[in-house]
Amino acid sequence: MKKKLFGALAGASLVFGSLAIATPAANANADVPLDITALNLEGEYFSSWISGKCTNHSNLGSTVATMKSSLGTTVTSTLPPESDGSFEFFSQANTAIDVTVTCTNYKSQSVTSDALSLSKDKATKSQLKLSKSTVKVGDEVTLTGTGFQAGEKVEFTMLSAPTVVGTATAAADGTLTLKFTVPADKEIGNHAIVAVGDKDSKGVHWIKVSTTSGDDTTPAPKPSKPGVKPGLPKTGAFA
């Protein structure tokens, strides 16, 4: 599997994910393809993994991909000249939202995608559920999945800094279970878990880390108004 970019952005009950930083001007040319790689539904939350490609990307300079939600939250990422213009964004919200991406290249030319709706009717077949809504580092948790292909080997990666937490093989009915320990290097806050199968099934789930150690019971801070969290580095790799 290919190396990918990972990241994160936050708002009032909204967490966004990305690939870096800049503020381009947008033209509504609708040539940036967007795809809901995975959209998980659990309770009131929509956890989404969106991928796409900047069609105006050039190897002569960097391209900036800027994602904006219908709630007004934005996050940006810089795609280097040696990349193929592909990007990924992650988001979590407690309401259906629309997102658009603007790609601005090194000559300050820009194109903007059509809006992509992240709503219940767009949920992907592969769905994930965690045994705990909030965890501490060092906790052992169980992740269950449905909607995978029979016999599919699935690798699970936890972000921010990508960490493979395990693999599982789907049963004949497409279900799977993975027990893993929350890595010690995960900071307080929201982290996406992505699942990629060797038969092209994909899933995403948001995990909330409430403490930096197993003995600390301080609850995780909750965002009170729209804002931006730092993007995450382009370091994740799916083998």
Region 215-238: what's the mean pLDDT?
33
C-alpha R_g of the chain: 17
- pLDDT for the residue 220: 37
Q: How confident is the model at residue 150 (pLDDT cuts 50, 70, 90)?
A: very high
The answer to whether 15 touches 118, Cβ cutoff 8 Å, is no
Q: What is the mean pLDDT of the chain?
A: 80
Cα diameter, the chain: 52
Distance CA 127, CA 210 (A): 23
- pLDDT for the residue 120: 93
The answer to whether 76 touches 23, Cβ cutoff 8 Å, is yes
Q: What is the pLDDT of residues 92-111, one digit of tens each?
A: 999 999 999 999 987 778 99
**Token pair for 54:** 């900047």
Distance CA 101, CA 137 (A): 34
Region 132-153: what's the mean pLDDT?
95
Query: Distance of CA 52 to CAs 3, 86, 130, Å?
Result: 14, 6, 27
Q: What is the pLDDT of residues 56-78, one digit of tens each?
A: 788 888 999 999 999 999 999 99
- pLDDT for the residue 20: 32
Nearest to 186 by CA among 204, 161, 216: 161
Q: Look at residue 36 and tell me whether its pLDDT is greater than 60.
A: yes
Nearest to 98 by CA among 70, 68, 72, 75: 70
Region 214-221: what's the mean pLDDT?
42
Q: How confident is the model at residue 6 (pLDDT cuts 50, 70, 90)?
A: very low
Nearest to 49 by CA among 135, 148, 157, 174: 157
Distance CA 26, CA 142 (A): 43
Q: Look at residue 199 and tell me whether its pLDDT is greater than 70.
A: yes
Q: Which residue has the higher pLDDT, 27 or 40?
A: 40
Q: What is the pTM of this model?
A: 0.78
Residue burial 126-144, b: 16+ Cβ < 10 Å; e: rest: bbbebeeeebbbebebebe
- pLDDT for the residue 198: 97
List of domains in the chain: 3-122 (2.60.40.10), 127-211 (2.60.40.1930)
Q: How confident is the model at residue 146 (pLDDT cuts 50, 70, 90)?
A: very high
Q: Which residue has the higher pLDDT, 28 or 227?
A: 28
